[in-house]
Structure 1
Amino acid sequence: MYQRISYSLLGLILAVTAWAAPAFPQAPPGGQGSFQEQFLQIKRKQLGPALGVSQQTVDQLLEIEQRYKAMRQKLFQDSKSEFKRLQQAMHQASPSDREVGAILLAIKQKQQEDQNLHQRQVQEEETLLTPVQLARNIMYQKRLLKEARSVKGRGPRKAVPLTPPAGPREVSRKTGAVPAESGTFQERESTPVAFPPQLEKALGVNQQTAAQLLEIRQRYRPLRQQLMAEAKNEFLRLEQVMRQPHPADPDVKNILNNIRKKEQEMLALKQRQDVEETAILTPVQQARYLMFLITSRQVAKEPQSQGLPLDGGIGTKPASRNAPPGMAPPGRPPGP
């Protein structure tokens, strides 16, 4: 759950190595430093030619990246601590709405802080790069992340030196979607759709509230899918423009602005859905809903799974104790 704090499309891709680098296994004793250090050195050498910028600009970009990386790591740890607090509160026999609500609000605030951090980082980087250079950086970082994950998957025993793709303007013709790493455009339907009885038991709500939750989820689903399709088309346009020998800054800038617009529309859509969901759940029920969705995702990833758990899980009360619909809790943690 911790790593599902929402990231913006450009914010993630432009700063992706801050998350990818720590994922590398450390080099064995006697080696030439950690994979993280190798990763940074390779970027220092390749960013200039890949983006068409000077070494001074490369150093500025890496300084920005490292500075925001430290802030994101602290935010990550803070979010992790808040989630542990939530788990402890929900293990109590009778979780307190007041205590749980405060924790959920803190988690939601961390999510907003994360979004703000990425926006600020992107703004700083935009002062150093032209639209075409920004697009080159997006393409380069996307390929670099793919290579980073490939190295991580080999494990420490089979680790080999990192060799991110070089070349100033190479763009893969096989790419056909908005990067899946984007939390903003991440599809929520990876979680199986639950049935009202499952929600009633898991959340401790009545049949009417369970039906309302499912109706809200299904109503927003096609809206999200439409935005994702539009964002995918814009990214495909960006790739097509960047394949040209001399991409025009105005054309690229227009596409990047369109992607940002779709990003903001997706965030606004998620906020509207959150408002509707939190309006019919108490803080404790919101926490149960969060746990239920996390468990559902974990079950969905297991090949032997036969379906969603039917028990209420952590801190579940009988459905008869459902609070009256219409309570507006302080906030809700980032949902799937």
Structure 2
Amino acid sequence: MPVLLTGHGLQQFRHGPNKLPTVDHRQLGRSGLRVSRLALGTMTWGHGTDTDEAADQLATFCEAGGTLVDTADVYQDGHSEQILGELLGTVVARDDIIVATKAVARRTDGPFGGGASRGALLTALEGSLRRLQVDHIDLWQLHAWDPSVPLEETLAALETAVTGGKVRYIGVSNYTGWQLATAATLQQARPGRSPLVSTQLEYSLLERGGEHEIVPAAQHHGIGLLPWAPLGRGVLTGKYRNGTPADSRGADSRLARYVEHHRTERATRIVQAVFTAAEGLGTSPLAVALAWIRDRPGVAAPVVGARNATQLTMALTSEDIHLPAAIQAALDDVSAGEHAPAVTSG
């Protein structure tokens, strides 16, 4: 995979004992699309992560064999997409990256500024293509369910994007189990329509509620899981065990409530178990938490958002970790309860 521009973070780890791990790849659901089993998230690109740091992250990710890069039209008011667009062709060749973005969230006022209507979606698509400076999007995802628009209209707009050559694969994000199953069934009922290949959901040792309905629905319909916040919004790394670091998301006025959601007594017990596992394996809590979610049934690629290339490199070390059955069972047990029913690989 040719990297056209080398970042400082990449230089630090590409040789010697700290050589970057190699990211493995998987099919995305039952589709023909193969993706790296770790995805690079870009939610903070444009806020907390400037263009130079984003370039370092992208270079580091690609050098390790990563391919799936996830963004959205509303991340930092479109600035995230814009930064990624500026880096394609300079940091990495366009054809070496699977560009995934999203639409539906409200971007502007007006009839086409958000939502899942045909007009709003196709307007959003044109905006994403322009900011990303590409002629097609590899994976286009509905960011949320829109109850005000008939689902058939929404799905027909996705099909228009695919048949028009502007989108290659389609998916959804933040759908409930019944919403996901309904959308997948409608697509499958129309011969020749593009199937949904992915769904994003919050999923980690701290958030296993999706195992009740979303995960079984996705497995039944052959839809790959792309977990967001796989590190429990940063809590599973242990950075908040003794307070709130000044450079963390928890100290950011715009993101503090996002992190506080998982700063609970239950989380404290789970984080301690992750630390114990990490000490036994001689690795980091971050790597243990990522390895656990990576190997859950149906998961294609956890989406990891890093503040800098050094943090991303730490996440990439999870590729060298395979959790022994006893440790996996212990983590399953400590994180189970009313939020986490048993999940089988069948």
Q: TM (normalized to structure 2)?
A: 0.24
Greater share of residues in helix: 1
Greater share of residues in strand: 2
Q: Which has the greater radius of gyration? A: 1
Q: TM (normalized to structure 1)?
A: 0.25
Greater RCO between the two (CA within 8 Å, min separation 6)?
Answer: 1
